[in-house]
Structure 1
Amino acid sequence: MTASRRLVMALCLSLAAASACGGDDDGGTASNAGGTSGSASGGGSAAGGAGGSSASGGGIGIGGSGGGVSCPGGKKTTVSGTIYAPTKVSPDPLPNVAVYVPAGAVKPFDPEVACVRCGEESPSVTRTVSKSDGSFVLENVPAGTDVTLVLQAGRWRRQIKVPTVTACEDTKLAAEQTRLPRNQSEGDIPKMALQTGYVDGLECLLTKILDPAELTAPSGSGRVHLFKGSGADASPALPASSTLWGDPEKLDDYDVVFFPCDFTSSSTEPAMPPSAVANLKAYVDVGGRLFLTHGGGKWLKENSPAPYPGIAQFNNQPDPTSPLASLVDTSFPKGQIFAEWLVAVGVSTTLGQIAVESAQWYVDSVAAPAQRWIHSPSPVTVQHFTFNTPIGAAEKDQCGRILFSNFHVKAPPSNATYPAHCTDVDKPLTTNEKVIEFMLFDTTGCVQSDKDPVK
């Protein structure tokens, strides 16, 4: 994103007038009544999986013959199924995914970070959102053949063709039809950057979720670009992570940036340079997403002045006993959905309770506008929290999102080389990996106030 475009985006957000700035396209016009597609580093045209539709094209979503009909006895023409993550082994269902029949051509995403608000996909004929168990029933679907259906969570987007939708009946879709894309040939995937971490090898989790070919060096064609932090390297060698967070133009190439825990010698490591923190803050304020685990977010605490003063009460203490008996905050809509999802995928046996493996004691509490997700009563810790940015802007003008996770998934061995150190990519997700999986799709999905149900 050029400096001038960044300024335009900032002005749009501050004036609550993004529609006047052409949405995702520098020269474009505002969306019509259905809203814009949200934009992004989108993966271009792609064959749409089971139905072979284009991920950036489309055409009229109604498809062939049929259209609206009057059904007797209160019946409706529906399409139903369950949305699944792209995870290759035992994929989990996903809530909060938009399912819709597009009213026309589905707009391609722009190749830069941009505002992706919930409910602002391409205009639709009919639309719904998947429930906590991933299930959905889309009503008033046009009857006919080759009906286009779009599955979308932020810049995750897959288009399929439903061969036949019979009027006044329910058409059930198979699981393989209703999972999000795991490679670019199946649809759109957010463009991600990951700084490898010494204590938390999130690149191995992403390799379980996506096809391995999607994780590459920045010079490659994958949707996840790896940068060398304190963790794994690759062959040929990865570029230093300082080339990422030290360059605001490079940051703006990505929809989300991961900073897994990179503590190597406790909290005595130097904080990130103030200029880099300013870059990250500017990036997230125009719609970027930051995914931080434990030490990967130490710059929130250690830099002076703090980038988000008062957002959390940090308190670096020895690790608590593992597993740590913890609670899910169900006081907000997404928290309730998360608690129900944990039961649905077998992580929790009691609604609202979770045993956290490899928990850390780094955050005691959070303050508004941060939203607590997982916390423990003894010791008192916060294990997960999120907040939208820019802080202080009206909720409708907040497009960025930061997630802070206080536990690790898996530490890579010393001098690890990707992908050789990822030895369990053919295994089901662990408890912690499932939690991070949920948070991955929440963080990279559309943005809205956590106070409201997902639109």
Structure 2
Amino acid sequence: MDCTAQNRSPTTISGAVYAPNGTLPLFGVTVYVPIHDPGPLPAGVQCDRCVTSLPGGAYAQALTDEAGHFTLYDVPAADNVPLVIQVGKWRRQLVVPSVAACQNTALAAASTTLPRDHTQGDMPQIAITTGDADALDCLVRKLGIADAEITTDKQGGKVHLYNGNGANQFATSFGGGTGSFSNATTLWGDVDKLSGYDIAVFSCEGGQHPETKPQSAMQAVHDYAGRGGRVFMSHWHNIWIGGEKTKPSHGLADWESIATFDFNAAQNETTQLTFVDETAPKGASFATWLQNVGASPIRDQLQINDPRYTCQSVTAGKAERWVYVDPTQSTPLGKTGVQDMLFTTPQDQTPDNRCGKVVFSDMHVSADSSSKSGTPYPGGCSSQPLSAQEKALAFIFFDIASCVGILQ
């Protein structure tokens, strides 16, 4: 029906997309009405570059805004209209029972939330190494991923925990995995093992621990990212980018040129006022989103706990600075640093020919949780709501799953 010819409103579908916890709205998620069945998602790491077409084609498509909202225009007026909600390999498919012509069909949040488990839709395969200085393994629970999906690599979950030097086994009462975690070296030391995952997350271990990261492992992580892997690492996992602090030759030459590190910088503050860099491609949207979710009462400002200052700056044209410390404005004054940065890989390719993403966070993300070898998982995980910096990293966690290329 031609609604415009009848001087009526267009046929639309609207709603908001949320993280699996059902409360955190997400920016930049694709929502579309497919023409054909989009088919299954491929397993394992993929070179996911941004393209103009969507699996199955699209009658209508939209991206969620900084409040998670979307509106699809000129949707077919029919019964049983299929809908796809997707960012990377996070995908939920549903059927809208009826779409009336020349009016809006509003969807409930329960139907537009990303999957908590594999029964609700597609999820990326995620590996997380534990660390006794930053409990990134706890963040996924706060984001709403079901305990049943958190297992060892020998079990069937979508999130596999590996022992860095934090938690190394599941509590007997846990509703997901059982037994001990495989050692992290079996993950990052094998590019083929890594390539079974879409996202690899490395939690800070309180030191670089180069003895567990030989040059062969450095190369494996480098090559995994080059194949299209997504890597998120915190604080002392700076070794992968900046090299070993007392032995620069133990590193990756092309990654070492991406940022400047001061491994001897004092790490002595408990809180820090930081700033969002709106010159980054998604910086303005990130700043708006942080305000919308209550993480940033004043635009561009983010108060964080457990700041760290090893990353001093990023090289223009090689990486994006997302959150930083300004020595003249960031109280306490006098500190310099990049708290969050992102780069795409392989670095020797033009941006439109790259496949992977690497995010480095100098701040400790999960400041109110802990991951210790003597405490079975999830014994150290906080049940408190997401903190401001956890919300900031949640934005990056879902964004890292999105496509790579000139559209970024």
- TM-score, scaled to structure 1: 0.80
Deviation at 1:282, TM superposition (A): 0.9
Deviation at 1:206, TM superposition (A): 0.7
Deviation at 1:434, TM superposition (A): 0.9
Q: Tell me if structure 1 keeps the 8 A contact 2:31–2:64.
A: yes
Q: Tell me if structure 1 keeps the 8 A contact 2:208–2:238.
A: no
1:443 aligns with 2:378: no
The 10-residue stretch of structure 1 (233-242 or 177-186) with the greater mean CA deviation from structure 2: 233-242
Counterpart residue number, 1:276 = 217
Counterpart residue number, 2:202 = 259
1:359-398 alignment, distance < 5 Å:
359-367=307-315, 368-378=317-327, 379-398=335-354
* Structure 1 residues 322 and 185: CA distance shift in structure 2, 3 A: same
Deviation at 1:309, TM superposition (A): 2.6
Deviation at 1:447, TM superposition (A): 2.0
SS at match of 2:80: strand
Q: Give deviations 1:71-111, integer Å, cap 9, x for gaps.
A: 422521101111111125xx211010000001101121111
Could you tell me which of 242, 246, 251 is aligned with 1:306?
A: 251
SS at match of 1:133: coil
1:338 aligns with 2:267: no
Counterpart residue number, 1:221 = 156
Counterpart residue number, 2:173 = none
Deviation at 1:323, TM superposition (A): 2.2
- TM-score, scaled to structure 2: 0.89
Structure 1: distance between partners of 2:116 and 2:49: 23
SS at match of 1:432: helix
1:92-111 alignment, distance < 5 Å:
92-111=24-43
Structure 1: distance between partners of 2:158 and 2:202: 16
Structure 2: distance between partners of 1:185 and 1:299: 35
Q: Give deviations 1:184-224, integer Å, cap 9, x for gaps.
A: 00000000111111111111111222001111001111101
Structure 2: distance between partners of 1:417 and 1:141: 50
Q: Give deviations 1:389-416, integer Å, cap 9, x for gaps.
A: 1112122211100000111113324522
Could you tell me which of 112, 117, 122 is aligned with 1:188?
A: 122
Q: Give deviations 1:155-179, integer Å, cap 9, x for gaps.
A: 1000111111111101111111111
1:202-241 alignment, distance < 5 Å:
202-209=136-143, 210-235=145-170, 236-241=179-184
SS at match of 1:234: coil
Could you tell me which of 400, 421, 433 is aligned with 2:380?
A: 421
* Structure 1 residues 306 and 246: CA distance shift in structure 2, 3 A: closer
* Structure 1 residues 207 and 185: CA distance shift in structure 2, 3 A: same
Q: Give deviations 1:336-388, integer Å, cap 9, x for gaps.
A: 11000000000111111111211101111000310000001121210000000
Structure 1: distance between partners of 2:205 and 2:78: 53
SS at match of 2:27: coil
Deviation at 1:277, TM superposition (A): 0.8
Counterpart residue number, 2:75 = 141
Structure 1: distance between partners of 2:278 and 2:35: 36
Q: Tell me if structure 1 keeps the 8 A contact 2:26–2:67.
A: yes
Deviation at 1:114, TM superposition (A): 0.5
Q: Tell me if structure 2 keeps the 8 A contact 1:154–1:444.
A: yes
* Structure 1 residues 392 and 95: CA distance shift in structure 2, 3 A: same
Structure 2: distance between partners of 1:267 and 1:278: 16
SS at match of 1:147: strand
Structure 2: distance between partners of 1:162 and 1:267: 50
1:434 aligns with 2:369: no
1:295 aligns with 2:236: yes
Deviation at 1:133, TM superposition (A): 1.1
* Structure 1 residues 305 and 423: CA distance shift in structure 2, 3 A: closer
SS at match of 1:444: coil
* Structure 1 residues 356 and 237: CA distance shift in structure 2, 3 A: same
Q: Which blocks of at least 5 consecutive residues in structure 1 are unaligned? A: 1-67
Letter in 1 for 2:322: W
Could you tell me which of 44, 56, 61 is aligned with 1:112?
A: 44
Structure 2: distance between partners of 1:315 and 1:168: 60
SS at match of 1:278: helix
1:197 aligns with 2:140: no
Could you tell me which of 282, 286, 295 is aligned with 2:227?
A: 286
1:249 aligns with 2:192: yes
